[in-house]
Structure 1
Amino acid sequence: MKGLLREIIVPVFLALIVIQYVIQAFQIPSGSMEDSLKTGDFLLGLKFTYGSPVPFSNKKFPGYTLPEAGDVIIFRYPGEPEYPEGNPGRYTHLFNALMFGNLYWDHEPLQGQPHLVHFPDGPKDYIKRCVAVSGDTVAVHHGRLSVNGKQQEYLPGKGKYTAYYRTKSPRDERGQFVVPSVGDTLYVDSLSLEMAWWLRSLIAQENPDESVELDLTLLKDGEEANNHVFEEFKIPLENDRRLLIDEVYRRNNMILQHVTQGDTISAPVPFTFIRELTRMAYLPLIDPNTPSGFTRKVSYVGFDGSLLQDLEGNVNLLNAPEVVAVDTAAADSAVVAPSADSATVAAPAETKPKFEIRRKLTLGGKPLDYYVVKTPQFFMMGDNRDNSLDSRYWGVVSLRNIKAKAFVIYFSFENDDGSFALTNPFTWWRLPLKIRWSRLGKIIHLID
């Protein structure tokens, strides 16, 4: 018995302690950090640098430093719910099953559904580089980052640009924005819709045990008009608009053709669709009514606040005054077609209805007029600047969501062609040829 305790139980216990408080293993799943970090790199991050998690709570032990610009950081992606459906009142987090995702207890399962809920692919962890901290002013123009008014000419690590043309997407254009600091008061009505969406995300990160919703109402001449359909809703063809574009083409049985990224399309879009998308924040990828067995699986996709830029822009188009040509040389006041030798002026057409959007942000069901920031915030970007889903799209990352500082590459494996398969013994001989031996043991902050 003593031998079993010494040889198995004690090492396993110590390993769990290390995993919980000291290190985090992470695999690079995409090319957003190339060429600093490559798809197939396996690395270790140090949890205690920024603060290890307190067991069975949403709190963290103090770290010995805060993230700084230039740090490569592993953090929980803010574009997914921490609890299924973003509902901490209904679900209790049981434990993190590491590579198998997270398990939750559903206190109010649907009829015939189990209490045990499995979130196999989330909440996801991301890895990006911190480029700005609380108090910094950030802007992006033609894809180039500026911090505190100074354009950042040098890409850190082995970063790169790949785009040969620029559009108005958040990848290329992001208006000036101050990263919030502890104690800052942010007023909901003073923000654009997209910034209100970013605030919703910030609040959700800082208050993981409370539900946070952004509810929009469309007003027409002061009266509620949520059933309004934008007959020609203009949408720029950008990757971050994919949810809306797919829905538009599905609803209208349209086929996308002869268009390229950066073009603008017009199509009917009901306000109710955008309103519901904004309120839900996370779209379920698995129907909760799908029959399940011992556990019920959930999976989600978030949407980017840039869609709300489009909503504001289309409301402004509805409110734009129409003009007609008036022949000032005519003897009477009748409107006639202007002749070649007569002057014309623009005159307003009939009074148009005025559209506006009212927003209501709630925390735990209680409406907020303003919010006071509790924790430091950080702006993240991928080193592969033109192929990275990052803070340009979904806003700042709260200190509470930050999990570890990326430290060292302990393994690196290239298998883009899929010629090695663990399930196929006849391909195992290729394994030594797939390992990137020169990357093993690289200290991440020394990669340049």
Structure 2
Amino acid sequence: MTTSTEVRFPLYTRAVPYLPLGLFAALGAILAYVQKLPCRTGGWNAGQTTYTNFCYTDIFPLYFARQLATQNPYFANVPPDQHVEYPVVLGEVMQFFALIARRLAPGNEYEQGVWFYDLTVILLGLCLVIGVLLMAAVAGPTRRWDALWYALAPGVILAAYINWDLIAGALSMGFLLAWARQKHVLAGVLLGLAIATKFYPLMFIGALFLLTVRTMKWRPFLVAVGSAAGAWLLVNLPFMILAWDGWRRFYAFSSERGVDWGSPWLFFQNKGWPVLGTTDVSILGMVSLGILCLGIAVLTIMAPQRPRLAQICFLALAAFMMTNKVWSPQFVLWLVPFAVLARPNWKPLALWQIAEIWYFMAIWLYLLYQDESTRSLGIGDDTYFTAVWGRIITIGIMMAFVVRDILRPDKDLVRQAGIDDQGGGVFDRAPDRFPAFR
């Protein structure tokens, strides 16, 4: 007869190795909060202090700019630029904390904004801890400590609380773990919620599709994609029916938005390059992303051995970021866990993090340069664009190494340990069923 103690003990022993990682992730969350303290203690209303102290965040100002102090911006009859420009999961997270903030500081909107920031940061810190633990579980026992990169990478600490991206990060890691454990409905639901939080997880469907072609494991793929579509529709449909203008703001804004900070297209426009600097950026971005995705598809299908899921997710996500119209500092949070799972080699990761640190500093100094009164404190175009290209080049280097690992699986650090695909789920050790590989 099995006692309750005997049942609990294995669970306890499996959890113990994750406790230090959880503590390191909590440390990263705290360091991220400390980094924003110059703004938290009064800098938000002090002109350019948010830039000179490198502590800018969207969270506090959007409480006021999106009318969260008085109404739900999806349903309110307000101008389009006052609707929340995010998918509905993020918008309703914002509204939920706004309701609490209004109750905690009635009649004092500034204090409400501070409460809104603090409550949001608590959630984001928890999402970082959860994301790190989920990533460690995906990595498996032999590579569990690779998740330290997600917990303590400088780019993560600096960008953690600029925006709400860590929520999508936790959902994306949850999707990857559920897929690895072959819980395909749960994986799809988490992926659908992630897409309803930030749009970038949509790229992972393409990665699943390509590896499904290599293995012919169609049922898990279709179940996951169907579940993702159902979860996305479930959270979006009420807003599509009841608040169409507010709901469509994110999609209209993404379509109409011009070239913005961090994007290589900004460099081409600034320098007036023919074609690259003069053609519609939306067209250029779609065409260049399409070309890169086609290359990833050919690589996946023609590789001598089926690539790992994390490798294709990383390549697809990096391609999406590098061709986008905007590349905000917090986008580093999207890529870190997938970059580490794809190729856990510290040298290119460290080089990339140095580039992310430089970009994080450069963007705020460049914004100071845009204002005549603070120009002497900032940096000009040429210096700023060294930071833009620093990120592009270092991520390109990591992509090149991942491509090399796919073409030469013996160079893959993960597979050198006798692992096939720790996050692949049904793809793990699956034979190639594509006709060319029979």
Query: More helix by proportion, 1 or 2?
Result: 2
Query: More strand by proportion, 1 or 2?
Result: 1
Question: Which structure has more RCO (C-alpha within 8 Å, separation ≥ 6)?
Answer: 1
- TM-score (norm: length of structure 2): 0.22
Radius of gyration: which is bigger?
1
